[in-house]
Structure 1
Amino acid sequence: MNDAATLSTGWSLLLANPLLGPFLEFGFMRRALLGCLALSLSAAPVGVFLMLRRMSLTGDAMAHAILPGAAIGYLVSGLSLAAMTVGGIAAGLTVAVGSGLVARNTVLREDTSLAAFYLLSLALGVLIVSVRGNSVDLLHVLFGTVLALDDPALALLGGISAVTLVSLALLYRPLVLECLDPGFLRSVSGWSPVAHYGFLALLVINLVAGFHALGTLMAVGIMVLPAATARFWVRRIGPLLLGATAIALLASLAGLLISYHADWPTSPVIVLSLGTLYLASLLLAPHGVLRQQRPASSHLRA
């Protein structure tokens, strides 16, 4: 009896712990944490290459571009994971390829053509969901349901994470070279188009994964903000990839706990947690604003 009472008391103390209790007590919190882990392992490294290629705003545009495909999948099959995933990937790839073709065959630059495509996509997607669904469905599409991830959704996020990690390992050298000097890569290797279009495909599938958890409006946050935050701390690409992943996971954990205890929407809180780490790093990191100015001023005095 004493052993049973001790175990019961210990378990009660664990459940009362504000950091461990929610994950021990509720399955939906554990599934949400697993989904955030999968996103952190895949989306954050993709975000690093997105930043190094100066395509962060492109990622934001692509996050909105997947909306009509997901909305059409919703129109056909309701809140079907498979239909919305296939539709989102198809729409994202269509916008990526279409904007590239317009940029190569007209006077418009790629950023302008991409902006035009993504605005049309966003408007079409919102219209489809609004007309054929309801306000709850619209909120689900725009802001995600990270606390409602089920086993099939986790399997999808885990699969996308695995594909992304394997692909990044295979394409690591050409991706790094393309970030540094794309012209040199084109001149010495045939991997340039593979790296370019392979990266766009990874971007689209990770945005679709982020869409299922965080919604189209927040999906790009777990890509761009961890990479930008890690950049204030490290310069080399290897530590940058590891740092961005760790930052994404830390902010996701903090966001889940804050949203649980405060009863706030989870996706915005996760992105705000990422933003808080970004702002703190902007000020205090070795390559942040305050720390950058000190060596510069002393150098001028010398």
Structure 2
Amino acid sequence: MISQLYALVAPFLDYGFMRRALVACLALSIGSGPIGVLLLLRRMSLVGDAMSHAVLPGAAIGFLFSGLSLWGLTLGGFAAGLAVAGVAGLVARHTMLKEDASFAGFYLTSLALGVLLVSMRGSNLDLLHILFGTILAVDDQALLLVASIASLSTLVLAFIYRPLVLECLDPGFLRAVGGRGQLYHLVFLVLVVLNLVASFQALGTLMAVGLMMLPAATARFWTIQVWSMCLTASVTAFLSGFIGLLLSYRFGLPSGPAIVLTAAGFYVLSIIVGRHGSLTARLPRRRNYRG
């Protein structure tokens, strides 16, 4: 029993890069779990995916000027994500196009433009680094950035939690009582971009939204209260990171896809046996009749 437990933690005890990757997964789980739940409640799941790719042109411009510099990629990605979110919101507000369709259009443009910009100067290896990330190469500086974003996101969410949840579930009531729904929506979009930029450092643009939305969707099958969904999503995201890193180490798999596929495994399992709304939960229950 002890040897089996040691086998689970041995890679993290023996190698510093595995410990840093695990701590990065913990920080990403704390920050991205609640954000994913709120995106799910606001029916903006695909908007999160679109915004994860919206950071790519900015990261590509940062790459053109500073290479694979942490701050160049981060600041460029954050600026691009905010710009796309703002422009998509303006288009949705002043035209007949809905917000999700507007984000979809800008997402496709951003993805193509980002790949083009990276390809102009970088190699295929640089492109793979930006698209899929390298969580096993997270250094102390990147770890500090990810942890800082997770801490800031948690503090801001705690401060605006009640009006933000109300704006998700009943925006009409919030407007009726004079709540500033648009302000909370804007702050929330900034938090989404921040957490996607943090995830981008570890998992790349194509995988960043996976650790945000899959655990949130998993949590929806196990609990119905918002706070417990946020907690369940964070725990699921961390477990996905832990198991994914172990699978990556034991079988030589790419770490980012292993983590996201582990989260997908939890999601599929929850679809089948979750407590609320799963396939098993919807099966007709047998009734006991007494003769």
Give the alignment's TM-score, normalised by structure 2: 0.95
Q: Which deviations, in whole Å up to 9, do the C-alpha atoms of 1:83-105 show, x marking residues without a partner?
A: 11110011001110101111111
How far apart are the structure 2 equivalents of 1:200 and 1:48? 13
**Kept after mapping to 2: 8 A contact 1:22/1:29:** yes
In the TM superposition, what is the alpha-carbon distance from 1:193 to its structure 2 partner?
1.9
Q: Which residue of 2 aligns with 1:164?
A: 153
- 1:110 deviation in Å? 1.7
Between 1:179-188 and 1:42-51, the stretch displaced more is 179-188
Q: Among residues 183, 186, 197, which one is paired with 2:186 in the alignment?
A: 197
Q: Is the 8 A contact 1:14 1:21 kept in 2?
A: no
Equivalent residue number for residue 233 of structure 1: 222
| Matched letter for residue 84 of structure 1 | L
Residue number among 291, 295, 298 corresponding to 2:281 in the alignment:
291
Q: Where does residue 131 of structure 2 map in the other structure?
A: 142
- 2:257 counterpart of 1:273: no
The reply to whether residue 129 of structure 1 matches residue 118 of structure 2 is yes
TM-score, normalising length: structure 1? 0.92
Number of equivalences: 286
- Contact 1:15/1:21, CA 8 A, preserved across alignment: no
Name 1:105's counterpart in structure 2: 94
Asked whether 1:178 is paired with 2:167, we answer: yes
Change (3 A) 1:16 1:42: closer
Q: How does 1:7-18 map to 2 (within 5 A)?
A: 17-18=6-7
Please state how far the C-alpha of 1:14 moved relative to its aligned partner. Answer: 7.2
Q: Deviations over 1:70-117 (max 9, x none)?
A: 010011001111111110011001110101111111222222221111
Contact 2:44/2:100, CA 8 A, preserved across alignment: no
Amino acid aligned to 1:144: G
Secondary structure at the counterpart of residue 292 of structure 1: coil
Which runs of no fewer than 5 residues in structure 1 stay unpaired? 1-12
Mapped contact 2:34–2:234 kept (Cα < 8 A): yes
The secondary structure found in structure 1 opposite 2:280 is helix
The alpha-carbon distance between structure 1 residues 14 and 77, as it changes in their structure 2 partners (threshold 3 A), is farther
> Secondary structure at the residue paired with 1:290?
coil
State the superposition RMSD in angstroms: 1.7
